[in-house]
Amino acid sequence: MSETLETTTLGGGCFWCVEAVYQELRGVYSVVSGYAGGIVDTPTYRQVCDGNTGHAEVAQITFDPMVITFDDILYVFWRTHDPTTLNRQGYDVGTQYRSVIMYHSEEQRIIAERSKRETDAAKLWSNPIVTEIVPCSVFYRAEDYHQNYYRDNPYQRYCMAIIDPKIRKLRKEFHSKLKDLG
C-alpha cells in the first residue's frame, strides 16, 4: 500500500450497488455508503428517500492510486450503472439516485471531466451522459445496516435481482482489476 491514499465519492443509483462493485476491486481499501450533496445536516435514510434533502445516495471510496488509478475507478463507474438517466437507475427514481462524481481535488475534477467527455464521445451509451461532476463537501455516513449491505444480505431480493448481475458483469469484464477472491 502506498503512503498516499485517495478518496472519491460516487453516486450511481442505490448506494448498495456502488458499494458492492467497488468492494471487489484491487486497490480499494474502504467503501462507505452515505449521503452527500444536499442541504440537510446528518440526514437519515428516511429523509433522503423522501427526496427533500437534496442528498444523493453515494459511496465514499478510499483507494491506493499506485494500485488502481482514478481513471480506473471511473472506467468501472461508467460501465456499472446507466449515467444517461436523470435521477434514476432502473426502478429507483428520485434525485437521491442521480449519477454523480463528487471530486476531492482539482486533479480529480479534471480527470472526471475528461473521462466523461471521452466516454460520451465513445458512444458507450446511446444517450448523452448526464452525470454531475461537483466538489464533495460534507459526507454523511449512512446508518450501520446500510454498510456492507450486499456482503451481509446476498440472498435479499434486491441484491439477487439488481446487484448480482452487476457483480457478475464486473467479474467477467474487469477480472484483471479484481481483488484476489480465491
Known catalytic residue at 17: no
User: Which long-range contacts link 46-54 to residues 24+ away (Cβ below 8 Å)?
Assistant: 48/96, 49/94, 49/96, 51/94, 51/95, 51/96, 53/96, 54/95
Q: Which of 14, 17, 136, 159 is catalytic?
A: 14
Beta bridge partners of 160: none
Cα 45 to the center of its chain, rounded Å: 17
With CA atoms as reference, report the closest residue to 33 among 5, 64, 65, 11: 11
Residues 131, 116: contact at Cβ < 8 Å?
yes
The count of C-alpha atoms lying within 13 angstroms of the C-alpha of 177, restricted to the half-sphere facing its C-beta, is 26
Longest dimension (CA), the chain: 43
Query: Which residues are known to be catalytic?
Result: 14
